[in-house]
Structure 1
Amino acid sequence: MKEGRHRLILQELDRAGLVSVRKLKELLDVTDMTIRRDLIDLEKQGFLIRVHGGAHKKVRDGLIEVSHAEKVMLNTEEKQMIARKCADLISDGDTIFIGSGTTTALIGDYLEDKKVNIVTNSLPIFEKLKDNPNFDLLLVGGRYRLKTQTFVGQFAINLLREIKVSKVFIGANGIDGHNVTTANEEEGNADAIILNNAIEKYIVADNSKFDSYSFYTFYRLDDVDGIVTDDRISQRMRDKYRSYTKVL
């Protein structure tokens, strides 16, 4: 019975990439507690990552890129926690760059009454913040990448080379040792340029991104001021990555 449930859960994960406890309960006709125990077992075996209300498929090599719309559903509590920490690092009057991502997209929610100059190449972030009178916004244009709803390419790079910011917040698909990785080299190249043009550099990543890697390495942890992460990162992982930079 247990093995059969595990097989069906993994089949559903392969099909959808993301499963909810409620849907699995209906599919398998068992209790919430049974599903949660199954997800714990499968997470221990390395097949998935549990999130609030369900689980998503664990992709250690990062070759399968999850879309912006799909990422919105993942690790929501951790993302809010990280966004608050990022907002605490921002001062009134700062000029900042916010990179694309569903975690970085929440930073503006916690800036309260701070007046901030914000540069971004993310269309969702621009759309979310454009009507706030406290923010002076600059959207970096270029070739539109639908998967992440981000502007990339040579036009974006040319503009980013000319921009200087006090602080930058960049997401990552995976952090493996000192390597900061992403699923797309064009996004990575743009992120690297603005990181080099910032006074303070922060990588934004929830606990599931550590000891994981994606397709393209675009920066080194040794060269950033800190990783902003959630409080659910293990002490072992925190200690390991403190050898490269601050873990906030």
Structure 2
Amino acid sequence: MYQEERLGLIMDFLKNHNRISVEQICTLFDVSRDTARRDLVRLEEEKSIVRTRGGAILPSVHDEVKNYTNRLNTVTEEKKIIGNKAASLIFPGDRVILDASTTVQACAEQMENIDCTIITNSINQAEVLSSKPEINIQLLGGTLQKEHRFLYGSTVLEKLSKYHVDKVFIGVVGISENGLTIAHEEDGLVKRKMIQQAKQVIVLADHTKLGRTGFFCFADLQDIDLLITDNTPPKEFRELLRKNNVELLTANFEEGDE
């Protein structure tokens, strides 16, 4: 077997198993340890792997978090459906916190013009809701994160501590066994405080966020009351939600036990 063919097969194995040892290469391809090491050196030079003691793993892949405007331009139909379901849970008289995520903005856009109070650190959410005269808007003042269009800092946290609300709607970069994660710590600290001030914590996340872990963890799964998503999650993920007493709603219908 030529080296090029073997390298391709090693990469296929890594994609399926995440890691490979020198001994496995020797066994799978009937080659010596020296040949196996040369293969790994070649793959490392091509930046296809990260060598470890006795083998190799795939390099980490970090998705770029686009700025808010770019993310708005790519708001998917799934996010709109999730936003519509979330908006249906806001009733007259409710006091609600909305965070600064694009999925939560999809909720704001589809809210009824009803007598309720919305507290937010998002200048976009405030602008969207300003066209609905019955809604009372409390915009949290603080330092503006210009790229992602949210307000943060000690003044936001201090003001939030004064509010006690019925519901909070939170967006995430990832939700997994590692909890709720986001790309920016300053955003995460605000979300954490929002969660503390609400009777009911509702997370909005499309299927691409499930099982994913971002940079900064701002809450544990047990801090959530309800997750709204667009597709039925895998059985393992549903079991993870059950263990942490998280109710599940999928777009257009409520998911029951299977």
Please report the TM-score for the alignment, with normalisation by the length of structure 2.
0.68
What is the deviation of 1:61?
Answer: 6.1
What is the deviation of 1:70?
Answer: 1.8
The residue that corresponds to 1:204 in the other structure is 204
What is the deviation of 1:116?
Answer: 1.4
1:132 and 2:132 aligned = yes
1:91 and 2:108 aligned = no
The residue that corresponds to 1:147 in the other structure is 147
The residue that corresponds to 1:173 in the other structure is 173
What is the deviation of 1:231?
Answer: 3.0
Pick closer, same or farther for the CA change 1:165–1:205 going to 2, 3 Å.
Answer: same
Pick closer, same or farther for the CA change 1:151–1:62 going to 2, 3 Å.
Answer: farther
Query: Match of 1:103, SS?
Result: helix
The residue that corresponds to 2:221 in the other structure is 221
Does the 8 Å CA contact 1:174/1:210 hold for their aligned counterparts?
yes
Unaligned runs of 5+ in 2: 1-59, 250-258
Q: Distance in 1 between matches of 2:132 and 2:62?
A: 35
Query: Match of 1:90, SS?
Result: coil
What is the deviation of 1:170?
Answer: 0.8
* Cα displacement string for residues 171-225 of structure 1 (whole angstroms, at most 9, x for unaligned residues): 1111121510011111111111111110111111111001111110000111211
What is the deviation of 1:101?
Answer: 1.1
Does the 8 Å CA contact 1:61/1:213 hold for their aligned counterparts?
no
The range that moved more, 221-230 or 91-100, is 221-230
What is the deviation of 1:74?
Answer: 3.1
Which letter does structure 2 place at the counterpart of 1:110? Q
The residue that corresponds to 2:22 in the other structure is none
Which letter does structure 2 place at the counterpart of 1:114? I
Pick closer, same or farther for the CA change 1:94–1:62 going to 2, 3 Å.
Answer: farther
What is the deviation of 1:155?
Answer: 1.2
Q: Distance in 1 between matches of 2:144 and 2:236?
A: 39
Query: Match of 2:73, SS?
Result: coil
Number of paired residues?
A: 189
Pick closer, same or farther for the CA change 1:224–1:61 going to 2, 3 Å.
Answer: farther
1:247 and 2:251 aligned = no
Identity of counterpart residues, as a percentage?
Answer: 28
CA RMSD of aligned residues (A): 1.9
Does the 8 Å CA contact 1:62/1:173 hold for their aligned counterparts?
no
Q: Distance in 1 between matches of 2:235 and 2:134?
A: 38
What is the deviation of 1:117?
Answer: 0.6
Q: Distance in 1 between matches of 2:218 and 2:93?
A: 29
Does the 8 Å CA contact 2:109/2:128 hold for their aligned counterparts?
no
Q: Distance in 1 between matches of 2:220 and 2:61?
A: 18
The residue that corresponds to 1:13 in the other structure is none
Which letter does structure 1 place at the counterpart of 2:115? K
The residue that corresponds to 1:69 in the other structure is 69
| Bigger-Rg structure (1/2) | 2
What is the deviation of 1:241?
Answer: 3.0
Q: Distance in 2 between matches of 1:95 and 1:217?
A: 26
The residue that corresponds to 1:186 in the other structure is 186
Q: Distance in 2 between matches of 1:73 and 1:241?
A: 31
The range that moved more, 165-174 or 124-133, is 124-133
The residue that corresponds to 1:11 in the other structure is none
Unaligned runs of 5+ in 1: 1-59
Does the 8 Å CA contact 2:178/2:213 hold for their aligned counterparts?
no
Which letter does structure 2 place at the counterpart of 1:137? I
Query: Match of 1:217, SS?
Result: strand
Does the 8 Å CA contact 2:113/2:132 hold for their aligned counterparts?
no
Query: Match of 1:78, SS?
Result: helix
Q: Distance in 2 between matches of 1:87 and 1:246?
A: 17
* Cα displacement string for residues 8-63 of structure 1 (whole angstroms, at most 9, x for unaligned residues): xxxxxxxxxxxxxxxxxxxxxxxxxxxxxxxxxxxxxxxxxxxxxxxxxxxx8656
